[in-house]
Amino acid sequence: MQAYDPAPLYAGHLHTLAKRADIALERGGFDHLVVPSGTLRHQVFDDREYAYAVNPQFKAWVPLTRTPGSWITYTPGQRPKLIYLQPRDYWHVVPQAPGGWWADHFDVIVIRSPEDALPHLPPSSRSAILGEAQSALGDYAPNNPAAVLAFLDFHRAFKTPYEIAMMRAASAIGAQAHRAAEAAFRQGLSEFDIHMAYCAAARQDANELPYGNIIALNEHGAVLHYMELDRDAPPVARSFLIDAGASHGGYACDITRTFSRDRGDEFQSLVDAVDTAQQVLCAKVRQGVDYRQLHLEAHTLLARILCDFGVVKVSPEAAVATGVSATFFPHGLGHGIGLQVHDVAGFAASDTGGTIPRPDGHPFLRLTRTLVPGMVVTIEPGLYFIDMLLEELRAGPQAGSVDWARVDAFRPYGGIRIEDDVACTDDMPLNLTREAFSAA
């Protein structure tokens, strides 16, 4: 962790945020940026609250994820201000007073109740207030100006060195927890117990993880977002697909691995082939590469694997052109990642707006931008044996492109996904995930 110490990088990060805010405010015609951290919300007809999720625009400024009712304000040329809610409350543990390497960079005002923020906030008519409607204090309400958000969201794709350090730290936690989960799988534990082993190793519970863990044994690997967590172990756990991340100071990692129980069987060979293709794709995370093109290359690489393993009987090019590859790889190659596991502005054409469309026939791709140093993207190709999609293929004109006996041989293993988080740099890509596994 020491190698990724974010503290010395934080001033530079704030400087970048301030410069971005200066331009965003100018574009929107505002004098101040105001960002509420968000609030707690009651469940309907109940006195329990939903799990709190911090406003990503807030945690971009401070590594705080559990401080509802707080605010950041920034006026160009001035130090940013943190209005920090530390309620008088004997029912709950209240947030500690802000301190440490990040707090020195703010003028900090501690308040005791949410309304106490009001006198410290700049005039709403001159402020871009970024947040959810429920953060309003009376008439003081988020206005989310489109021009300001378009600029900030577009540039959020370009991570500062501080953010890369935070993501390295998140990746280190994730890699360690993945190792524990693999060991739990090899012991024959249930999905639920593997999940618990993962959380224990990460020292994070479901509310802290950046997304719900996907822990899938056998055929469950064919359900792309399988979140059921069976309590009972299957009689035989043939295969294991785990898509699980970790958080650090508001930043996420997003990691998927797939294993066969029998390290020498054909399914493991298929996993290894996808892993090799995945690394070829990771190596292409370079400046100027169109992510849409990378996604299309993934289809060709995966179709070639299907041919090599005798699942598909036509050429890889034909399998891609006819849509056969999409039966086995029905999601996008990946997405931007950072403060949010699926980072904003994946389709943004510019910092003033506009959309880069997905390629025809690829409705689930989440990122269409061209790669630039600082961007961090996931590379997550997969091959799945999904009954619903296979039935459609078998009933259609391309049924003869497939050796159905080979499909049946792989169905009991569900599917494969290998996912790393990769930073585009001026030079070689930096694979945050592989780096973390090498150290774990």
Residue 213 binds to Mn ion (criterion: CB under 5 A): no
Contact between 219 and ligand GLY per CB under 6 A: no
297 near ligand GLY, rule: CB under 6 A:
no
Tell me the site size for ligand GLY, rule CB under 6 A: 6
Q: How far is the CB of 101 from ligand GLY (least distance, A)?
A: 30
Q: Nearest approach, Cβ of 422 to ligand GLY (angstroms)?
A: 13
Q: Rule CB under 6 A: is residue 223 a binding residue for ligand GLY?
A: no
d(CA 57, CA 153): 9
Q: Closest approach of Cβ 436 to Mn ion, in Å? A: 15
Residue 89: what residue type? D
- For the record, the structure tokens of 137 come out as 């204090």
254 binds ligand GLY (CB under 6 A): yes
Distance CA 7, CA 149 (A): 27
Residue 231: closest CA among 184, 195, 186? 195
SS3 content of the chain, % helix, strand, coil (to 5): 40, 15, 45
Q: Could you give the string, one character per residue 376-405, with x where binding to ligand GLY holds by CB under 6 A and - elsewhere? A: ----x-------------------------
Where are the alpha helices (H) located in 157-265, listed in sequence order?
A: 161-186, 191-202
Interface with ligand GLY, residue 211, by CB under 6 A: yes
Paired residues of 260 in beta bridges: 239
The one of ligand GLY, Mn ion, none whose footprint includes residue 211, by CB under 5 to 8 A per kind, is ligand GLY
Beta-sheet strands, E only, within 37-125: 71-74, 81-85, 107-111
193 vs 243, beta carbon nearer ligand GLY: 243
| 192 makes contact with ligand GLY (CB under 6 A) | no
- The one segment of 188-196, 226-234, 240-248, 301-309 that binds Mn ion by CB under 5 A: 240-248
Nearer to ligand GLY, 343 or 351 (CB): 343
Which of 243, 420, 421, 435 forms a contact with ligand GLY (CB under 6 A)?
243
Q: For tokens 């559990």, what's the residue?
A: 66
Residue 351 interacts, among Mn ion, ligand GLY, none and using kind-specific CB cut-offs from 5 to 8 Å, with: none
What's the rounded Cα separation, in Å, for the pair 120 and 70?
Answer: 11
Least spacing, CB of residue 243 vs Mn ion, in Å = 4
113-130: burial string, b at 16+ Cβ within 10 Å, e else: ebebbeeebbebeebbbb
| DSSP secondary structure letters along 294-323 | HHHHHHHHHHHHHHHTTSB-S-HHHHHHTT
Termini Cα distance of the chain:
11
Residues in 417-436 at the binding interface with ligand GLY, rule: CB under 6 A: 419
Region from 241-249, 303-311, 325-333, 367-375 binding Mn ion, contact rule CB under 5 A? 241-249
Is residue 433 within a helix (H) or strand (E), and if so which, with residue range? Answer: helix 432-439
**Residue 431 binding partner per list Mn ion, ligand GLY, none, with a CB distance cut-off of 5 to 8 Å that depends on partner kind:** none
Residue 57 binds which entry of ligand GLY, Mn ion, none, with Cβ cut-offs from 5 to 8 Å by kind?
none
* Paired sense of beta strands 214-217 and 127-129, if any: unpaired
Restricting to residues 381-440, name those near Mn ion by CB under 5 A. 419
φ, ψ of residue 383 in degrees (nearest 5): -135, 130
- Least distance in angstroms from the C-beta of 276 to ligand GLY: 20
Identify which of residues 145 and 382 has a Cβ nearer to ligand GLY in the complex: 382
CA gyration radius, the chain = 23
Window 355 to 384, contacts with Mn ion (CB under 5 A):
378
Q: Which does 294 bind (CB under 5 to 8 A by kind): Mn ion, ligand GLY, none?
A: none
Q: Residue 360, class by beta-carbon neighbours within 10 Å (0-12 exposed, 13-18 middle, 19+ buried)?
A: exposed
Closer CB to ligand GLY, residue 80 or residue 250?
250
**Beta-sheet pairing, 32-36 with 127-129:** parallel
Q: Could you give phi then psi for residue 53, rounded to 5 degrees?
A: -125, 120
Which one of Mn ion, ligand GLY, none is in contact with 297 (Cβ closer than 5 to 8 A by kind)?
none
Q: Which of 254, 297, 351, 420 binds Mn ion (CB under 5 A)?
A: 254
Q: Which is nearer to ligand GLY, 163 or 254 (CB)?
A: 254
Task: Measure Cα distances from 145 to 85, 124, 242, 329 in Å.
Answer: 25, 12, 39, 38
* 343 sits near ligand GLY (criterion: CB under 6 A): no
Give the integer Cα–Cα distance in Å for 411 and 383.
11
Q: Which is nearer to ligand GLY, 192 or 211 (CB)?
A: 211
Binding residues for Mn ion (CB under 5 A): 243, 254, 256, 378, 419
Binding residues for ligand GLY (CB under 6 A): 211, 243, 254, 341, 380, 419
